[in-house]
Protein backbone atom coordinates (compact mmCIF):
# COMPACT_ATOMS: atom_id res chain seq x y z
CA UNK A 1 0.00 0.00 0.00
CA UNK A 2 1.23 3.45 -0.81
CA UNK A 3 -0.11 6.88 0.04
CA UNK A 4 -1.06 9.43 -2.59
CA UNK A 5 1.25 12.26 -3.55
CA UNK A 6 5.02 12.54 -3.73
CA UNK A 7 5.69 9.99 -1.00
CA UNK A 8 3.51 7.43 -2.76
CA UNK A 9 5.22 8.07 -6.10
CA UNK A 10 8.57 7.58 -4.40
CA UNK A 11 7.44 4.26 -2.93
CA UNK A 12 6.15 3.06 -6.31
CA UNK A 13 9.38 4.14 -8.02
CA UNK A 14 11.52 2.44 -5.39
CA UNK A 15 10.30 -1.00 -6.43
CA UNK A 16 10.92 -0.27 -10.12
CA UNK A 17 14.54 0.63 -9.37
CA UNK A 18 15.13 -2.15 -6.82
CA UNK A 19 13.99 -5.00 -9.11
CA UNK A 20 13.21 -7.51 -6.32
CA UNK A 21 13.40 -11.22 -7.10
CA UNK A 22 9.74 -11.63 -6.20
CA UNK A 23 6.64 -10.08 -7.72
CA UNK A 24 5.70 -6.71 -6.23
CA UNK A 25 2.62 -4.61 -6.90
CA UNK A 26 1.99 -1.24 -5.32
CA UNK A 27 -1.59 -0.24 -4.50
CA UNK A 28 -3.43 2.77 -3.18
CA UNK A 29 -6.68 0.85 -2.71
CA UNK A 30 -6.71 -1.84 -0.01
CA UNK A 31 -9.46 -3.83 -1.76
CA UNK A 32 -7.43 -4.04 -4.95
CA UNK A 33 -4.42 -5.17 -2.91
CA UNK A 34 -6.43 -7.87 -1.15
CA UNK A 35 -7.90 -9.12 -4.43
CA UNK A 36 -4.36 -9.33 -5.84
CA UNK A 37 -3.26 -11.25 -2.76
CA UNK A 38 -6.22 -13.60 -3.11
CA UNK A 39 -7.69 -12.79 0.31
CA UNK A 40 -11.06 -14.50 0.68
CA UNK A 41 -12.86 -12.02 2.94
CA UNK A 42 -11.59 -8.55 2.14
CA UNK A 43 -14.10 -6.74 4.36
CA UNK A 44 -13.05 -8.56 7.52
CA UNK A 45 -9.38 -8.02 6.71
CA UNK A 46 -10.00 -4.29 6.19
CA UNK A 47 -11.93 -4.04 9.46
CA UNK A 48 -9.15 -5.83 11.36
CA UNK A 49 -6.43 -3.67 9.78
CA UNK A 50 -8.45 -0.54 10.64
CA UNK A 51 -8.67 -1.71 14.26
CA UNK A 52 -4.92 -2.34 14.37
CA UNK A 53 -4.17 1.07 12.86
CA UNK A 54 -6.59 2.71 15.28
CA UNK A 55 -4.75 1.02 18.13
CA UNK A 56 -1.38 2.19 16.87
CA UNK A 57 -2.70 5.72 16.40
CA UNK A 58 -4.32 5.61 19.83
CA UNK A 59 -7.81 6.23 18.48
CA UNK A 60 -10.08 6.31 21.47
CA UNK A 61 -12.62 3.65 22.28
CA UNK A 62 -15.34 6.23 21.64
CA UNK A 63 -14.15 6.93 18.09
CA UNK A 64 -14.06 3.18 17.34
CA UNK A 65 -17.58 2.84 18.76
CA UNK A 66 -18.75 5.75 16.60
CA UNK A 67 -17.20 4.15 13.48
CA UNK A 68 -18.70 0.76 14.28
CA UNK A 69 -22.14 2.28 14.83
CA UNK A 70 -22.01 4.21 11.55
CA UNK A 71 -20.86 1.12 9.61
CA UNK A 72 -23.63 -0.95 11.16
CA UNK A 73 -26.45 1.28 9.96
CA UNK A 74 -25.55 2.33 6.43
CA UNK A 75 -28.74 1.37 4.58
CA UNK A 76 -30.62 3.91 6.69
CA UNK A 77 -27.88 6.00 8.29
CA UNK A 78 -28.73 7.62 11.57
CA UNK A 79 -28.23 11.32 12.04
CA UNK A 80 -25.34 12.60 14.10
CA UNK A 81 -27.82 13.29 16.90
CA UNK A 82 -29.16 9.71 16.87
CA UNK A 83 -25.67 8.17 16.79
CA UNK A 84 -24.66 10.37 19.71
CA UNK A 85 -27.76 9.34 21.68
CA UNK A 86 -27.13 5.62 21.03
CA UNK A 87 -23.60 6.02 22.35
CA UNK A 88 -24.67 8.08 25.37
CA UNK A 89 -22.98 11.24 24.10
CA UNK A 90 -24.21 14.69 23.25
CA UNK A 91 -23.94 15.63 19.58
CA UNK A 92 -21.23 18.13 20.47
CA UNK A 93 -19.23 15.48 22.39
CA UNK A 94 -19.46 13.13 19.41
CA UNK A 95 -18.19 15.91 17.12
CA UNK A 96 -15.39 16.72 19.55
CA UNK A 97 -14.27 13.07 19.77
CA UNK A 98 -14.21 12.77 15.99
CA UNK A 99 -12.39 16.09 15.76
CA UNK A 100 -9.70 14.73 18.10
CA UNK A 101 -9.24 11.93 15.54
CA UNK A 102 -9.03 14.54 12.74
CA UNK A 103 -12.38 13.44 11.36
CA UNK A 104 -16.05 14.38 11.26
CA UNK A 105 -19.37 12.57 11.18
CA UNK A 106 -19.75 13.33 7.47
CA UNK A 107 -16.23 12.03 6.70
CA UNK A 108 -16.80 8.85 8.73
CA UNK A 109 -20.12 8.23 6.99
CA UNK A 110 -18.52 8.70 3.55
CA UNK A 111 -15.61 6.39 4.43
CA UNK A 112 -17.98 3.72 5.75
CA UNK A 113 -20.07 3.98 2.59
CA UNK A 114 -17.01 3.67 0.36
CA UNK A 115 -15.53 0.71 2.25
CA UNK A 116 -18.82 -1.16 2.24
CA UNK A 117 -19.49 -0.28 -1.41
CA UNK A 118 -16.12 -1.65 -2.50
CA UNK A 119 -16.77 -4.86 -0.63
CA UNK A 120 -20.20 -5.23 -2.25
CA UNK A 121 -18.87 -4.33 -5.70
CA UNK A 122 -16.47 -7.28 -5.55
CA UNK A 123 -19.55 -9.52 -5.86
CA UNK A 124 -20.83 -9.27 -9.44
CA UNK A 125 -24.29 -10.39 -8.26
CA UNK A 126 -24.84 -7.00 -6.60
CA UNK A 127 -26.17 -4.42 -9.05
CA UNK A 128 -24.88 -0.87 -8.80
CA UNK A 129 -28.37 0.26 -7.80
CA UNK A 130 -28.54 -2.32 -5.01
CA UNK A 131 -25.08 -1.36 -3.75
CA UNK A 132 -26.18 2.29 -3.76
CA UNK A 133 -29.22 1.49 -1.64
CA UNK A 134 -27.25 -0.81 0.68
CA UNK A 135 -24.79 1.97 1.52
CA UNK A 136 -27.52 4.56 2.08
CA UNK A 137 -27.37 6.55 -1.15
CA UNK A 138 -30.72 7.76 -2.42
CA UNK A 139 -30.06 6.65 -6.00
CA UNK A 140 -27.51 5.04 -8.28
CA UNK A 141 -26.57 8.48 -9.63
CA UNK A 142 -25.93 9.83 -6.11
CA UNK A 143 -23.78 6.77 -5.44
CA UNK A 144 -21.93 7.26 -8.74
CA UNK A 145 -21.19 10.87 -7.76
CA UNK A 146 -19.90 9.85 -4.31
CA UNK A 147 -17.79 7.03 -5.74
CA UNK A 148 -16.26 9.24 -8.43
CA UNK A 149 -15.47 11.88 -5.81
CA UNK A 150 -13.43 9.41 -3.75
CA UNK A 151 -12.07 7.04 -6.40
CA UNK A 152 -11.86 9.20 -9.53
CA UNK A 153 -13.81 6.64 -11.53
CA UNK A 154 -17.27 5.15 -11.69
CA UNK A 155 -18.23 2.14 -9.55
CA UNK A 156 -18.68 0.13 -12.76
CA UNK A 157 -15.17 1.00 -13.96
CA UNK A 158 -13.69 0.19 -10.52
CA UNK A 159 -15.49 -3.16 -10.42
CA UNK A 160 -14.37 -4.01 -13.94
CA UNK A 161 -10.77 -3.05 -13.23
CA UNK A 162 -10.59 -5.02 -9.99
CA UNK A 163 -12.38 -8.11 -11.31
CA UNK A 164 -10.32 -8.22 -14.52
CA UNK A 165 -7.06 -8.03 -12.59
CA UNK A 166 -5.92 -4.88 -14.42
CA UNK A 167 -3.98 -3.71 -11.44
CA UNK A 168 -0.54 -2.94 -12.80
CA UNK A 169 1.24 0.00 -11.23
CA UNK A 170 1.57 1.71 -14.62
CA UNK A 171 -2.16 1.73 -15.31
CA UNK A 172 -2.97 2.85 -11.77
CA UNK A 173 -0.42 5.64 -11.77
CA UNK A 174 -1.65 6.98 -15.11
CA UNK A 175 -5.19 7.18 -13.75
CA UNK A 176 -4.17 9.32 -10.80
pLDDT tens by residue, 129-153 = 999 999 988 899 999 999 999 889 9
What is the extent of the structural domain holding 83?
5-175
DSSP helix/strand/coil, 1: coil
Overall domain count for the chain: 1
Distance CA 149, CA 101 (A): 22
Counting as low any pLDDT under 50, the low residues of the chain are: 168-176
CATH of the domain at 52: 1.10.10.60
Any alpha helices (H) in the chain, and if so which ranges?
Answer: 5-18, 30-37, 42-56, 61-72, 80-86, 91-100, 105-121, 128-134, 140-151, 155-164, 169-175
Q: Give pTM, 2 decimals.
A: 0.62
Amino acid sequence: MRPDGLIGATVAGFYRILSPSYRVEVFTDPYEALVWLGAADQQNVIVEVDRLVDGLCEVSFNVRAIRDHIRGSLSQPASLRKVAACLGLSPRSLQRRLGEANSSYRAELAMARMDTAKHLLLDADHSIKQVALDVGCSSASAFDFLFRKFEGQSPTAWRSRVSSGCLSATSRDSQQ
